[in-house]
C-alpha cells in the first residue's frame, strides 16, 4: 500500500502531538480522524479551550473523537476502518482490543531512546538525570507501557542550556522527522521491529506536585538539573518568607559550604547566591508569588535585605 494513501487514525493531545499531526497533514497523509483527551479549563479564568491537537484537526476538517475512557469506548474505531493508528502523548492507556483493529497495527512516538525512560516523563527525566543525549523512538504499541518493538530512533543532543521547554520542542521536531523517515516503509508491507532488551529498561513516572518543591539536600548539579527539568513549566520552587519562590534558571558557582543550607549568601548586581549541601548555586531567573518572572538583577533591585534569609 502507498504510505500516503493509508487511512491513519491519530491519537494525541498536547502541543508535541499537535506539531506532529500538523506535519503529517502538511505532508499530505490521509488522516481520517483524531482521538484526543477531553478539553480542559485553561488559565486563571478557567476558560475551556480545545486541546492542541483538536485545534489542528478542526482547522483541516478532520473528525475529532474525545472519549472519557478509551478502554471502555472504542467500538466506533471499527467503523472508521483505519489502516494504521499513530499515537503521541495521548494520555490514557490504550487497550489491546483497540490496537488490534488497524490493518497494520498501531505505533507510538515515545520521547526517549528506548529502552531507557519508559513512562510518563521522559523529556523532563532526561534533563533531571543529566543526560547529554536523548531522542525519540518509533515503536510498536502493545498493551504494556512503552514495551513494544522498536522501529526507528532519532537522537537529540541535550545542551547544557536546555530546559524542559526547549528540549520538548526539539523532541517534537525529532518525532516528526523520525515519522517522516519511517512511514514510507509501509510501501513494502508491515515493517519489522527490534525487541527491547529488558536488561536495559529504565522507568520514569509522572512528575508530582510534591517534586516541584525543590530539595535543598540535592547536590548543586542535581539541583540545577531539577530546575532545568521543571522549567519553563510548571517551574520548581522554594519558599521565601512562606511565599512560593519559583526558580527557572540556575547555575553552579562554587563547591564551598560556609553557610546554612538554604541561606541566601549574596544578593546584589553580581548575583543571587544560594547555599546548598555541597556548594553554591546562582539563581538567574526567578518569580516570587504574585509577581512576574524576572532576572535576578530585577528581583534584587526590588527586594532588600535578602542576604541571610533562608529558603525552604
219-236 pLDDT, tens per residue?
999 999 999 999 999 999
Residue 310, in any domain of the structure: no
Same domain, 66 and 215: no
Torsion of CA 55, 167, 201, 216, to 10 degrees: -120
Domain that holds residue 272: 210-302
Same domain, 26 and 97: yes
Residue 197 Ramachandran class (φ > 0 left, ψ -120 to 50 alpha, else beta): beta
Read off the CATH number of the domain in which 286 is found. 3.10.25.10
Q: Give the pLDDT band (50/70/90) at residue 122.
A: very high
**Domain end point (choices 204, 221, 247):** 204
Residues 60-105 have pLDDT tens digits of 999 999 999 999 999 999 999 999 999 999 999 999 999 999 999 9
Residue 3, in any domain of the structure: no
Same domain, 155 and 192: yes
Read off the CATH number of the domain in which 64 is found. 3.40.50.170
**Domain end point (choices 185, 204, 223):** 204
Same domain, 184 and 218: no
**Domain end point (choices 204, 226, 248):** 204
Considering the entire predicted model, what is its pTM? 0.95
283 has a pLDDT exceeding 90: yes
Residue 270, in any domain of the structure: yes
Same domain, 57 and 193: yes
Same domain, 41 and 178: yes
Strand pairing partners for 136?
Answer: 154
42 has a pLDDT exceeding 90: no
| Sequential DSSP letters for 131-187 | -SEEEEEEEE--SSTT-SPEEEEEEEE--TT--HHHHHHHHHHHHHHHHHHHGGGGG
* 266 backbone dihedrals φ, ψ, rounded to 5°: -155, 140
Amino acid at each position: 500500500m502507498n504510505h500516503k494513501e493509508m487511512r491513519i487514525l491519530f491519537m494525541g493531545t498536547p502541543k508535541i502531538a499537535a506539531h506532529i499531526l500538523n506535519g503529517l497533514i502538511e505532508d499530505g497523509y490521509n488522516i481520517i480522524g483524531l482521538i484526543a483527551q477531553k478539553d480542559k479549563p485553561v488559565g486563571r479564568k478557567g476558560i475551556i479551550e480545545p486541546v492542541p491537537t483538536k485545534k489542528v484537526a478542526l482547522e483541516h476538517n478532520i473528525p475529532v473523537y474525545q472519549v472519557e475512557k478509551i478502554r471502555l469506548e472504542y467500538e466506533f474505531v471499527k467503523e472508521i476502518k483505519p489502516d494504521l493508528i499513530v499515537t503521541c502523548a495521548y494520555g490514557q492507556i490504550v487497550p489491546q482490543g483497540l490496537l488490534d483493529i488497524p490493518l497494520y497495527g498501531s505505533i507510538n512516538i515515545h520521547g526517549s531512546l528506548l529502552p531507557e525512560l519508559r513512562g510518563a516523563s521522559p523529556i523532563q527525566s532526561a534533563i533531571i538525570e543529566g543526560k547529554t543525549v536523548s531522542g525519540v523512538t518509533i515503536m510498536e504499541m502493545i498493551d504494556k507501557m512503552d514495551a513494544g518493538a522498536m522501529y526507528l530512533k532519532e537522537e537529540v543532543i541535550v545542551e547544557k542550556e536546555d530546559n524542559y521547554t526547549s528540549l520538548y520542542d526539539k523532541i517534537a521536531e525529532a518525532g516528526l522527522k523520525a515519522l517522516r523517515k519511517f512511514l514510507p516503509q509501509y510501501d513494502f508491507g508491515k515493517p519489522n521491529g527490534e525487541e527491547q532488551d529488558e536488561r536495559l529498561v529504565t522507568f520514569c513516572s509522572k512528575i508530582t506536585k510534591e517534586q516541584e518543591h525543590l530539595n535543598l539536600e540535592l547536590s548543586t548539579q542535581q539541583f540545577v538539573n531539577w530546575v532545568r527539568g521543571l522549567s519553563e513549566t510548571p517551574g520548581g520552587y522554594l519558599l521565601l518568607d512562606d511565599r512560593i519562590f519559583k526558580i527557572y534558571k540556575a547555575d553552579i558557582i562554587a563547591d564551598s559550604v560556609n553557610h546554612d543550607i538554604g541561606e541566601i549568601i549574596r544578593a546584589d548586581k553580581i548575583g543571587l547566591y544560594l547555599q546548598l549541601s555541597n556548594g553554591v548555586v546562582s539563581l538567574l531567573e526567578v518569580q516570587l508569588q504574585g509577581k512576574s518572572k524576572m532576572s535576578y538583577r530585577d528581583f534584587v533591585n526590588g527586594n532588600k535585605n535578602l542576604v541571610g534569609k533562608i529558603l525552604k
